[in-house]
Amino acid sequence: MASHVSEIAAFVGFFLYGSFFEWTLHKYFMHQPRWQYPFRAHALVHHGLFRTGDDYFLSDKKNLKKVRFAWWNAPLIIGLHIPAILLLQYLLGASILFGACAAIAVYYGLYEYLHYCMHIPSGRWIEQTRWFRWLDAHHHMHHKRHFNNLNVVLPLADAVFGSLIRSKGRIPVPDRKQGAYTMQTLLR
């Protein structure tokens, strides 16, 4: 029973940590040329293709792969965390490896899925939710002001570090219904 509690606590803690990891990775590696691969792939290519207004949505089928990270990013990110998680597990004397890795994997999966839905609308049920529309407006503003609204999944770190642009300061998100119609035509 104690093992289940520690794994659940690890999941919650590492899911919240995910917001800070995402924010740090996004700000310092994807928007600054410290390491060329993530900077080039994100700041130059992704932000070059996906801007604001109607350019926020996919406009050319050949750029479909520029919405998501490369396939190997998920195992790399999770794998890089394992030594620290094992050390923390040893120091705490509690089983947390599964819960921590599951949280990082779920957070990463949500990032990829939500980000994909944001740039490639198709009228999915999730796109109709108030939560998604708020996150979408949050992310749309990031495409205008690259060092603000750095979180896609959980803008906790944006709020803590002062990079959150509140809803009144955001620009309107383009028409998702029109975008979904365009995507149907484009992706056939």
The stretches of the chain forming alpha helices (DSSP H) are 2-25, 36-39, 47-49, 73-92, 97-119, 130-142, 156-161, 176-186
Q: Is the pTM of this model over 0.75?
A: yes
pLDDT surpassing 70 at residue 1: no
Rounded to an integer, what distance in angstroms lies between the CA atom of residue 103 and that of residue 99? 6
pLDDT surpassing 80 at residue 183: no
Kindly report, residue by residue over 101-147, the tens digit of the pLDDT: 999 999 999 999 999 999 999 999 999 999 999 999 999 999 999 99
Rounded to an integer, what distance in angstroms lies between the CA atom of residue 185 and that of residue 172? 24
